[in-house]
């Protein structure tokens, strides 16, 4: 078991510097353009694929890093470059994690490579869980999956929303209700293969931030998928549902559902994204404060500015440590007995919102314009306290974990 360390090894430092170079040389120069266009930056994704940064092999290497720091390190550097473009590059990862968390070895080997494509023909994937009436309240999910025993197929109907890469993905991973009486415990995840009839893109959202990342509704109308597209297989699902029914009758222990398993695995990674955006804004503010002069001296010479920067850096470093701790715990199999995964996302997300707002304040009127990137960073940071579990939900998870009480 890898010991917890705050020092990256030489190989990790090399990878970090390589990613940072791509973020600085390719992502940042393209950031403002794709933010304005509000389109998926396919040329940038392809450049990432050409160097091996957008590939199954690279993310597998980082995912299986025994220290747990490969993924958060990658996320921080890419999102330091630009959150919208970075999310377009890593958004496929959420669908991949959904398969890794719930799928069989055969399903992982079959579907995850198809999510990425190759350098000559890049693809993306989408994880579809949220619905118009079921965001944080996953028990309210309405998308149904019914098994057609005669044909050995599952039939999916419903509408998903807020799906990154929804409708443009090569592979969609869809969470659906298979037993409504079990609430969130009656959910399962399904692969919807490329070009499956009945799946279409609904509304594409025009967003406040992360505008280079495609977010849309996914409409499922009598979508038929083969039985082997049920992640984990029907035998495993039947066993899990049977246990859940028994526990429900006895008022017993909680059973995790497929969507929650995916979110728990990804929360520290989202925290790392927030750290990257916060760090980028802090660095912009620090450089501005040391070069901008008012009343004959740099503005950092004023305590009101200097102390803000000191607080910003302290909060960023604290957020990174929480993210690294949670990532290390997840990789080494240590249980989140105090909801450490939710802690890392909560603190890092709130830090990103606060730090980017402070950066705008330090830049003054310039910070409020699109001539400077902190305006875009502040818009981007707003998403971290919303997606993959709002800050309020993270606090609820933490409070329930600490108290053992069903806090509402």
Sign of CA dihedral 321, 326, 331, 332: positive
User: What is the Cα–Cα distance from 22 to 229, expressed in whole angstroms?
Assistant: 36
Alpha-carbon Rg for the chain in angstroms: 22
Contacts of residue 149, Cβ cutoff 8 Å, sequence gap at least 6: none
DSSP single-letter state for residue 27:
I
DSSP single-letter state for residue 26:
I
User: What is the Cα–Cα distance from 280 to 268, expressed in whole angstroms?
Assistant: 19
Catalytic entry in 76, 131, 350, 388: 388
Known catalytic residue: 246?
Answer: no
For residue 61, the number of C-alpha atoms closer than 13 Å in the C-beta half-sphere is: 11
Residue identified by tokens 């503010």 is 285
Give the pair of three-digit tokens for residue 283. Answer: 């660095």
User: What is the Cα–Cα distance from 177 to 179, expressed in whole angstroms?
Assistant: 6
Q: How many residues does the chain have?
A: 408
Element (H, E) at 43: helix 42-50
User: What is the Cα–Cα distance from 362 to 364, expressed in whole angstroms?
Assistant: 5
Instruction: Give Cα separations from 308 to 95, 277, 353, 375 (angstroms).
Output: 38, 17, 14, 18
Inter-helix orientation angle 70-81/10-22, to 10°: 20
Burial class (CB in 10 A: 0-12, 13-18, 19+), 54: buried
DSSP, residue by residue, 53-68: SSSHHHHHHHHT-TTS
Closest CA to 233 of 301, 171, 152, 169: 152
Closest CA to 320 of 343, 353, 290, 293: 343
User: What is the Cα–Cα distance from 185 to 168, expressed in whole angstroms?
Assistant: 29
The bridge status of strand 171-177 relative to strand 125-128 is: parallel
Active-site annotation, residues? 388
């Amino acid at each position: 078991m890898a010991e917890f360390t705050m020092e990256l090894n030489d190989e990790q430092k090399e990878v970090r510097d390589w990613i940072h170079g791509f973020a600085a040389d390719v992502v940042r120069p393209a950031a403002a353009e794709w933010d304005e266009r509000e389109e998926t930056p396919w040329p940038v994704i392809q450049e990432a694929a050409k160097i091996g940064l957008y590939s199954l092999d690279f993310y597998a290497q980082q995912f299986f890093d025994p220290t747990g720091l490969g993924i958060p390190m990658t996320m921080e550097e890419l999102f330091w470059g630009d959150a919208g473009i970075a999310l377009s590059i890593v958004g496929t990862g959420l669908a991949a994690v959904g398969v890794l968390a719930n799928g069989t070895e055969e399903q992982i080997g079959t579907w995850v490579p198809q999510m990425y494509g190759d350098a000559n023909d890049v693809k993306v994937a989408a994880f579809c869980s949220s619905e118009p009436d079921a965001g944080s309240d996953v028990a309210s999910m309405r998308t149904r999956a019914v098994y057609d025993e005669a044909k050995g197929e599952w039939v999916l109907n419903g509408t998903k929303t807020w799906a990154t890469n929804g409708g443009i993905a090569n592979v969609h991973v869809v969470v659906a209700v298979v037993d409504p009486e079990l609430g969130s415990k009656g959910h399962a995840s399904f692969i919807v293969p490329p070009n499956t009839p009945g799946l279409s893109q609904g509304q594409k959202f025009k967003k406040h931030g992360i505008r280079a990342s495609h977010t849309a509704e996914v409409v499922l109308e009598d979508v038929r998928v083969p039985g082997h597209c049920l992640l984990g297989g029907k035998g495993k699902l039947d066993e899990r549902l049977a246990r859940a029914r028994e526990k429900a009758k006895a008022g017993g222990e909680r059973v995790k559902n497929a969507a929650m398993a995916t979110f728990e695995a990804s929360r520290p990674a989202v925290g790392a994204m927030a750290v990257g955006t916060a760090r980028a804004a802090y660095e912009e503010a620090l450089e501005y404060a040391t070069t901008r002069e008012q009343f004959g001296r740099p503005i950092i010479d004023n305590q009101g500015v200097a102390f803000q920067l000191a607080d910003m850096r302290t909060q960023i470093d604290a957020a990174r440590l929480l993210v690294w701790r949670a990532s290390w715990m997840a990789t080494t199999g240590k249980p989140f007995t105090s909801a450490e995964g939710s802690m890392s996302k909560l603190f890092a997300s709130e830090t990103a919102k606060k730090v980017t707002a402070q950066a705008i304040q330090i830049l003054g009127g310039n910070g409020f314009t699109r001539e400077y990137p902190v305006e875009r960073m502040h818009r981007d940071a707003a998403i971290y306290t919303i997606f993959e579990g709002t800050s309020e939900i993270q606090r609820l998870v933490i409070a329930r974990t600490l108290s053992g009480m069903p806090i509402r």
